[in-house]
Amino acid sequence: MPDDRTIPPLAEADRKRLDDLYHSLQVENGRILGYPCNGAFDYSPLYRFLAFPANNVGDPYLPSNYHLNTHELERELIATFATLTHAPEAHWGYVTSGGTEGNMYGIFLARELYPEGIVYHSEDTHYSVNKILRALHVRNIMIRSRPDGTIDLEDLEETIRIHRDVPPLIFANVGTTMKGAVDDLAGIHRILKRRAIQSYYIHADAALSGMILPFVDGAPPWDFQAPVDSISISGHKMIGCPFPCGVALARKANVERIARRVEYIGSLDTTIAGSRNAFAPLFLWYALKTVGLDGYRRRVRECFGVADYAVGRLTAAGCHAWRHPYSNTVVFDRPAEAVVRKWQLAVNDGIAHLIAMPHVTRAHVDQLVVDLRERP
């Protein structure tokens, strides 16, 4: 370790900047209603691990030349997610930097399996997907969305019919960004069967809903039982984490197609990133061990209770609020810009939404309604 005496102290002005930043984050942390991050966590018992330059480079299922890693915990974490998503026995996964990387991984696998394929995605798909498609140079067609945010199956079927000679690579939304909608995977499979399509790939973007739907009775089909070929789930959303992270899960046979041996790291290169955050698996593992799956089931139920409360209060305030029965995303009329900024609401055209995450309370909803009435 370096001798602390060789590190000069931070200048007074810089210390003040950090203090001011901390105070600002404290204030804003109490007003996060529009984005799906969970602020209800305490990882202080893990702070001691920040003393190490840990790195999860390489495949989490293989040894690496770099021994300061958390691969063992990463494997345990993936096993838990495999259970939650009904993954086949021959599955594979890793901890990502977040939903965008997980979605890129799914599209990458699809492209490698069917290089000539066309990606079909709806209007309500997350904005990052267009960027991924450009980066990977994958042919793609946007499909209309229905008013509730789900993909328009009639438009999808007609478009697939026109391009029937090309394998469809379906990008399915399992909880759309603005409306929390889950695409009709059963309907998508009916289309593929009706059109006698044998070669296809389905990736599920379950960034937020991947840690909600496993705990919802009567949830729509969404996981490997649907079935899909790969899934991306965020870790900093329903689980909660001080930095973005996520999990990518896929069928092992498809991953083996892209694996490359790298002597430098003494492992297989099977992920998008080279060096990977070793603290993300540690933090997510800790959360699942302390809160537990039953704890997250309770949290989802509590979040739905707050979401129903928000629908009632916003409707009473004349805001035309609604939500899908399997989602904690509450959609309502777009308010004044001052309200949007104060509560960090997500907006698109004429709508806004709040997301009832574990840190969001009925008191937050009440204060939002007061502000809406003051600034209609």
- In which residue ranges of the chain is CATH 3.90.1150.10 found? 4-39+293-374
Write down the pLDDT at residue 232. Answer: 98
- In which residue ranges of the chain is CATH 3.40.640.10 found? 48-288
List, in order, residues 6 or more apart from 245 with CB less than 8 Å away: 95, 96, 97, 98, 234, 235, 236, 277, 280, 283, 284
Marked catalytic residue, from 64, 122, 232, 327: 327
4 pLDDT more than 90 = no
Confidence of residue 239 (pLDDT cuts 50, 70, 90): very high
Mean pLDDT of 116-141: 97
3 pLDDT more than 60 = no
**CATH code of the domain occupying 48-288:** 3.40.640.10
Q: Give the homologous superfamily in CATH for domain 4-39+293-374.
A: Aspartate Aminotransferase, domain 1 (3.90.1150.10)
Coil, strand, or helix at residue 356?
coil
Write down the pLDDT at residue 2. Answer: 55
List, in order, residues 6 or more apart from 149 with CB less than 8 Å away: 124, 173, 176, 178, 179, 180, 181, 324
List the beta bridge partners of residue 170: 120, 202
Write down the pLDDT at residue 264. Answer: 87
List the beta bridge partners of residue 202: 170
376 pLDDT more than 90 = no
pLDDT in tens, 312-325: 999 999 999 999 99
pLDDT in tens, 222-235: 999 999 999 999 99
Does the annotation count 327 as an active-site position? Answer: yes
Confidence of residue 175 (pLDDT cuts 50, 70, 90): very high
Between 3-12, 274-283, 330-339, the lowest mean confidence (pLDDT) is in 3-12
